[in-house]
Amino acid sequence: MSDNDTRDEVHHAPPPAPHLGTESTETGFLTSSVTVAEAERLKHRPGAVFWISIGLVIAFTLWAMISPETLGGSMTAAMNWAAASIGWSYLLVTLGCIILLVYLAMSRFGGIRLGTDEDRPEFNTWAWLAMILSAVMGIGLISYGVAEPISHFVTPPHGLAEPETMDAAVRAMQFSYFDWGPHAWAVFGVFGLAIAYSTHRRHNTGLVSPMLRPIFGDLVDGWFGKMIDIFAIIATLFGTTTSLGLGASQIIEGMSQVFGLPTGLFPQIVIIAVITVMFTLSALSGVHRGIKWLSQITMLLSAGLGVYVLFAGPTNFVSNLFFRSVGQYLSDFFQVALLTPATPDDVAWMQWWTYFMMAWWLSWGAFVGVFLAKISKGRTIRQFVAGVMGIPSLVFFAWFTIMGGSAINFDMERGAGIGARAAEDVNSAFFALLGELPLTTLTSIIAIILVVLYFVSGADANTFVLSMLSSRGTLEPTRPVLTVWGVLTGLSAVAMLIVGGLSALQQAAMLSALPFTVIVALLGISLVKELQKDHRFVGLHTVTRDEMDQLISR
How confident is the model over 53-91, as pLDDT tens digits?
989 888 877 777 777 777 777 777 877 787 778 888 889
For residue 34, what pLDDT is reported?
Answer: 54
The contacts of residue 512 (CB under 8 Å, 6+ apart) are: 231, 234, 235, 238, 239, 363
Q: pLDDT over 90 for what percent of the chain?
A: 32
- pLDDT of 509 over the 80 cut: no
Mean pLDDT of the chain: 81
Q: How confident is the model at residue 554 (pLDDT cuts 50, 70, 90)?
A: low
234 located within any domain: yes
Query: Cα dist. 76→22, 27, 71 in Å?
Result: 46, 49, 9
- pLDDT of 10 over the 50 cut: no
For residue 15, what pLDDT is reported?
Answer: 39
Model pTM greater than 0.85?
A: no
From the CB of residue 509, how many other CB atoms can be counted at a distance below 10 Å?
24
Q: How confident is the model at residue 291 (pLDDT cuts 50, 70, 90)?
A: low
Q: How confident is the model at residue 171 (pLDDT cuts 50, 70, 90)?
A: very high
Mean pLDDT of 166-183: 95
Most confident of 15-24, 240-249, 332-341, 465-474: 332-341
Q: Give how far the C-alpha of residue 282 lies from the chain's centroid of Cα atoms, to the nearest Å.
A: 20
CB 377 within 8 A of CB 122: yes
From CA 552, how far away is CA 409, in angstroms rounded? 70
**Between 494 and 158, whose confidence is greater?**
158
CATH of the domain at 117: 1.20.1740
Mean pLDDT of 84-100: 89
Helix (H), strand (E) at residue 313: none
How confident is the model over 324-359, as pLDDT tens digits?
999 999 999 999 999 988 888 888 888 888 888 888
Q: How confident is the model at residue 189 (pLDDT cuts 50, 70, 90)?
A: very high
Reduce the DSSP state of residue 10 to 3 states and report it: strand
Question: Mapped to the 3 state alphabet, what secondary structure does 492-553 carry?
Answer: HHHHHHHHHHHHHHHHHHHHHHHHHHHHHHHHHHHHHHHHHCCHHHCCCCEECHHHHHHHHH
CB 434 within 8 A of CB 11: no
Helix (H), strand (E) at residue 181: none
478 located within any domain: no
How confident is the model over 516-526, as pLDDT tens digits?
788 889 999 99
From CA 3, how far away is CA 510, in angstroms rounded? 49
484 located within any domain: no
Q: How confident is the model at residue 1 (pLDDT cuts 50, 70, 90)?
A: very low
For residue 436, what pLDDT is reported?
Answer: 94
Q: How many domains does the chain have?
A: 1
From CA 20, how far away is CA 36, in angstroms rounded? 14
Side chain identity, residue 383: Q
From CA 46, how far away is CA 180, in angstroms rounded? 36
> What dihedral do alpha carbons 71, 74, 75, 81 form, nearest 10°?
180
Poorest-confidence range of 285-299, 427-441, 448-462, 473-487?
285-299
Q: What is the DSSP letter of 380?
A: B
493 located within any domain: no
The contacts of residue 523 (CB under 8 Å, 6+ apart) are: 190, 191, 194, 208, 211, 212
From CA 514, how far away is CA 540, in angstroms rounded? 39
CB 499 within 8 A of CB 64: yes
The boundaries of the domain holding residue 147 are: 52-463+505-533
Mean pLDDT of 41-50: 75
From CA 355, how far away is CA 179, in angstroms rounded? 9
From CA 322, how far away is CA 310, in angstroms rounded? 12
Q: How confident is the model at residue 29 (pLDDT cuts 50, 70, 90)?
A: very low
For residue 57, what pLDDT is reported?
Answer: 83
**Between 2 and 359, whose confidence is greater?**
359
How confident is the model over 533-551, as pLDDT tens digits?
887 765 554 545 655 566 5
Residues 414, 419, 425, 428, CA torsion sign: positive
For residue 35, what pLDDT is reported?
Answer: 63
For residue 290, what pLDDT is reported?
Answer: 58
For residue 285, what pLDDT is reported?
Answer: 65
Residue 388, classified by CB atoms within 10 Å of its CB into exposed (0-12), middle (13-18) or buried (19+), is buried
**Between 339 and 246, whose confidence is greater?**
339
**Between 41 and 276, whose confidence is greater?**
276
473 located within any domain: no
CB 128 within 8 A of CB 156: no
**Between 512 and 195, whose confidence is greater?**
195
548 located within any domain: no
Side chain identity, residue 30: L
For residue 21, what pLDDT is reported?
Answer: 38
From CA 201, how far away is CA 194, in angstroms rounded? 10
As beta bridge partners, residue 10 has: 543
6 located within any domain: no
Q: Give how far the C-alpha of residue 210 lies from the chain's centroid of Cα atoms, to the nearest Å.
A: 21
Q: How confident is the model at residue 502 (pLDDT cuts 50, 70, 90)?
A: low
Q: How confident is the model at residue 4 (pLDDT cuts 50, 70, 90)?
A: very low
499 located within any domain: no
Length of the chain: 554
Helix (H), strand (E) at residue 11: strand 10-11
Helix (H), strand (E) at residue 419: helix 418-424
Q: How confident is the model at residue 13 (pLDDT cuts 50, 70, 90)?
A: very low
From CA 18, how far away is CA 39, in angstroms rounded? 24
Reduce the DSSP state of residue 358 to 3 states and report it: helix
